[in-house]
Amino acid sequence: MASTAPPVLPISNLQTVPSAAPSSVESQPPIATPAFRAFINNISETVRNGLSQRRPWAELADRSAFSKPETISDAAVRIRKNYSYFKVNYLSVATAIVAFSLVTHPFSLVLLLSLLASWLFLYLFRPSDQPLAIFGRVFSDRETLGLLILFSIFVVFLTDVGSVLVSAVLVGVALICAHGAFRAPEDLFLDEQEPAATGFLSFLGGAASKAAASAAPAVVAARV
C-alpha cells in the first residue's frame, strides 16, 4: 500500500519591489516668474531709481531765484545748466502733463493702452510655439508683426492719439524751457553734477539700457 505523502506546495520567492523613494523622484523646477511680471518689475525699479535722484521741489520753485535773462545766449546757458540739475524733475513734470492730457482724452487713452497691450501680449510675451489664431486663421510671427505695425500706424497717425501726445510733449518742453530760462542757476552746485548730456531723455539712457538688459532674458524666454 503506497503511502500518501502530503502534496508539496510550491514556494515562490516573492521579490518585493522597492518603492520609489521620495529622494529618487526628480524634483520639479520652481515655477519661473512670468516674463510680463519680470518686465513690469524692471520698469518699476527703474522708475523708483530715477525718482530717487530728483531734486527738492521747493528748490525748483524757489521764487527768489527767478530773474529775466539778459540775452538769448544767457537763456540758453541757463536752460542747459538747469536741465543738468533738474532733469529728473523736468521729466516728471513732462510725464505728468502727458498723463493729464491722456486722462482728459479717454478715447485716446483707451486706444493707446490697446496698442500697448497688443504689442505686449500678441508679440513680445507670446510664446513662439503658440501661433496666433483669429477666427480660425493662423498667423505667423511675420504676419503678426505686420498687423501690429499697421495697427500702430492707424492709432498714431489716423486718430487723435498722435496729436494728443505731440501737443502734450510740446507744452511740457515749452514749460521746461521757460522755467530753465528764467531761473538763475548761480545757487546750484553744478560742479558736483555729471557733464550735461544732449537730448531731453538722455538721462534715462543708463537706466533704460539697464532695464532693457535685465528684461531681455524674460522676453527671449517668452519668445522661445
17 occurs within a structural domain: no
Residue partners of 88: CB distance under 8 A and separation at least 6: 50, 51, 53, 54, 55, 203
108 occurs within a structural domain: yes
Instruction: Identify the pLDDT of residue 164.
Output: 94
> Please, what is the average pLDDT of the chain?
75
Quick one: pLDDT band at residue 3, thresholds 50, 70, 90?
low
| Alpha-carbon distances, residue 154 vs 116, 117, 151, 190 (angstroms) | 13, 15, 5, 45
205 occurs within a structural domain: yes
Question: Could you tell me how many residues make up the chain?
Answer: 224
13 occurs within a structural domain: no
Q: Based on the structure, what is the number of domains in the chain?
A: 1
- Is the pLDDT at 27 greater than 50? The verdict is no
Q: What is the pTM of this model?
A: 0.64
- Contact predicate 185/85, CB 8 Å: yes
Mean pLDDT of 149-173: 93
The residue type at 182? F
140 occurs within a structural domain: yes
157 occurs within a structural domain: yes
Minimum mean pLDDT range among 40-49, 78-87, 176-185: 40-49
- Is the pLDDT at 7 greater than 60? The verdict is no
Mean pLDDT of 117-121: 87
Structural domain range at position 165: 63-223
53 occurs within a structural domain: no
Instruction: Identify the pLDDT of residue 20.
Output: 45
Q: Measured between alpha carbons, how far is 19 from 63 in angstroms, rounded to an integer? A: 81
Question: 147: which strand partners?
Answer: none
21 occurs within a structural domain: no
Instruction: Identify the pLDDT of residue 63.
Output: 87
Instruction: Identify the pLDDT of residue 205.
Output: 47
Mean pLDDT of 114-126: 86
Mean pLDDT of 164-180: 95
Quick one: pLDDT band at residue 45, thresholds 50, 70, 90?
confident
